[in-house]
Amino acid sequence: MASKPPNIVWYCTDQQRFDTIGRLGNPHVHTPRIDRFMDEATVFTHAFVQCPICTPSRSSFLTGMHPSFLRANRNGNAGFTDGADQRLITRILAEAGYDCGLTGKLHLAGAAEGPEPRADDGYRFFEYSHAPRRDYTNHTDYYQWIARQGGDPDVVLQRLDDEKFPRPPEDMYQGGLYEPTPDFDNAPPEYHQTTWCTEMAIDFIGEAEESDKPWIISLNPFDPHPPHDAPWEFYRRFDPYTLPEPVFAESDVIHQNKLAAAGIDFQSRSMPPEHWQFPGVKASYYAMIELIDEQFGRLLDFLEANDLRENTIVIFTSDHGEMLGDHGLVLKGCRFYDPLVRVPLMISWPGHFEAGVISEALVEAVDIAPTLAEAAGLAMAEDTHGRSLLPILTGEAPLDEHRDFVRSEYHDAVEGDDESSASMYRERRWKLVVYHGNEIGELYDLEADPTESHDLWDDPAHLAIKAELLQKSYDASIAVLDLGPDRIMMA
């Protein structure tokens, strides 16, 4: 390890699926800077979040703990769980002498009424923008930055004024396609929140480098989260009708309607993709990722130009995925398809971590915090659920061996009629989903059915494997219980 603890750049997008990187097999989205970063990084192709919803997921990967342990299961919560902030990796790093900064969203608590209430999170530098939507703009540092750049925030963000421009279509929660034109753009690149995140990160690094402290900067742009409002400069690069259609069959509507009839919550109904404004939505989603790629590359260039890259760990990941029309669904909710719970994960530290290698190991987002702690020479609590990836990163462990299974959970995570509770247990071949209290579940053979289109839950030929996986899933759930205060032994 280096004599000085490494600096850390943690770039976390919002709602980016695992299959949205050009070099990882998607020729339709162009990510040249991320592709080039792969030459410097260990790339984990099977990284899974512990909840397909923002706050539970972010709470878990910032602490290394499953959301249910933290009692951080919901979006829109009034605050972060009392006492859980002691587990935040940023606070642990700050207490060890790191200078900690954030730009973009945090989302450990709800932000509908303005900036979220902060826990003791360790961030000295805090440039906040939960979402560049109209209901948040006048509360944020991003809104004020647009004005400092000479723009009018109310004009730049006018497409997100629901009174003038209603969200299309009406039943697409959080907005559908805001299709730009040369004459009527969404937020242009120079005023975009993704660009602002990079600008603020560069400002922070400049400040932090004036001291001898190591530093961490967390970049959290809102994109490619809906609404699908890519700038014209990026959207115009796509012919939507050349993009592949979502994974969809009429049988998907039947299956999703069965789940909906059981009261299992989701942010959309299953409908043919054209109902959800495809293929334009996919073009805009990819365009937002291309802007992310440009700004991520710009940040890497800054590190290189200032001789900072050699002692800086860089992470690229996302908090969860997006259905993007697959199975007739958009957005997210109580489901565990790979497009929702599997995300990009790339980690680089030149000269210290393996570079240009692909790991197909099953890993979890909770593994990131203990990895950073160990790289910085620190320890986390013994009961931390995450497992450090350092052995893989340093070449001391086989590339493709880390976990036998991954686990994800959902407990009333978004407001819905059912207050749904569910859990996923996924091995290399099998995925089991249990919708608790509904006497319903899903079972997929991922080798035979990688798109998760054929549910085997009620198939008599798979009763034995279902029973085995149910036992394993139950054991995995019990293993992450909060056992309460430390035991005091009697003398």
pLDDT over 90 (residue 443): yes
Closest of 376, 349, 219, 218 to residue 292, by C-alpha: 219
Q: What is the mean pLDDT of the chain?
A: 94
Residue 416 has pLDDT above 90, yes or no: no
pLDDT over 50 at 114, yes or no? yes
Residue 479 lies in a domain: no
Q: How many residues does the chain have?
A: 491
List, for residues 245-275, the tens digit of each pLDDT value: 999 999 999 999 999 999 999 999 999 999 9
Handedness of CA 60, 62, 65, 70 (dihedral sign): negative
Residues 209-224: pLDDT tens digits?
Answer: 999 999 999 999 999 9
SS3 state at 407: strand
| Bridge partner residues of 43 (DSSP) | 346, 358
- What average pLDDT does this structure show over 189-205? 98
Indicate left, alpha or beta for 342 from its phi (over 0: left) and psi (-120 to 50: alpha). Answer: beta
Q: Classify residue 242: in a domain, yes or no.
A: yes
> Among all chains, which residue has been given the structure tokens 């790629």?
293
Chain segment 356-403, per-residue pLDDT in tens: 999 999 999 999 999 999 999 999 999 999 999 999 999 999 999 999
Confidence of residue 319 (pLDDT cuts 50, 70, 90): very high
Structure tokens at 324: 């993007």
Specify the pLDDT at position 170: 59
Residue 165 has pLDDT above 80, yes or no: no
Band (pLDDT 50/70/90 cuts) for residue 306 is very high
Instruction: Answer whether 286's CB lies under 8 Å from 238's CB.
Output: yes
Q: Is 253 exposed, middle or buried (0-12, 13-18, 19+ CB in 10 A)?
A: middle
40 CB burial (10 A radius; 0-12, 13-18, 19+) = middle
Using only the alpha carbons of the chain, give its radius of gyration: 22
What does the pLDDT read at residue 480? 93
In a domain, 105, yes or no: yes
pLDDT for res 168: 59
Q: How far is 44 from 207, CA to CA, in rounded Å?
A: 32
* Whole-number pLDDT of residue 226: 93
Domain for residue 421, yes or no? no
What is the share, in percent, of the chain residues with pLDDT greater than 70? 95
**93, 69 in Cβ contact below 8 A?**
no
Give the H/E segment covering residue 314. strand 312-318
Nearest Cα neighbor of 50 from 400, 357, 324, 384 is 384
Decide if pLDDT at 294 tops 60.
yes
Run of H or E including 351: none
Domain containing 188 — which CATH number?
3.40.720.10
Q: Is 254 exposed, middle or buried (0-12, 13-18, 19+ CB in 10 A)?
A: exposed
Q: Is residue 434 part of a domain?
A: no
Compute the distance between CA of residue 99 and CA of residue 418 in angstroms, rounded to an integer.
43
Across 316-329, average pLDDT: 97
What Cα–Cα distance (Å) separates residue 307 from each residue in 34, 41, 279? 20, 18, 43
What is the C-alpha separation between 112 and 78, in angstroms, rounded?
10
Residue 415 lies in a domain: no
481 CB burial (10 A radius; 0-12, 13-18, 19+): exposed
Please give the residue that has the higher pLDDT: either 44 or 1: 44
**Dihedral, CA atoms, 393, 395, 401, 406, nearest 10 degrees?**
-10
Give tens-digit pLDDT for 30-61: 999 999 999 999 999 999 999 999 999 999 99
Residue 73 dihedral angles phi and psi, to the nearest 5°: -90, -15
Number of structural domains (the chain) is 1
**Is residue 424 one of the residues assigned to a domain?**
no
Q: What percent of the chain has pLDDT over 90?
A: 85
pLDDT at 61: 98
Dist. CA 348–CA 357, nearest whole Å:
11
In sequence order, the 6+-apart residues with CB closer than 8 A to the CB of 381 are 87
End-to-end CA distance of the chain: 43
Contact status, residue 201 vs residue 103, Cβ threshold 8 Å? yes
pLDDT of residue 175: 72
Instruction: Provide the edge-to-edge strand list for the sheet that holds 42-48.
Output: 125-128, 99-104, 215-220, 7-13, 312-318, 342-348, 42-48, 357-364
164, pLDDT greater than 70:
no
Enclosing domain of residue 188: 7-404
| pLDDT for residue 1 | 44
Q: How confident is the model at residue 291 (pLDDT cuts 50, 70, 90)?
A: very high
Q: To 10 degrees, the CA torsion angle through 172, 21, 18, 454?
A: 80
Query: pLDDT by residue (tens digit) across 94-104?
Result: 999 999 999 99
Q: Does residue 358 sit in helix, strand or coil? A: strand
Instruction: Indicate whether 158 belongs to any domain.
Output: yes
* 301 pLDDT more than 80: yes
Mark out the alpha helices in 209-316 (DSSP H runs): 232-235, 250-261, 280-305
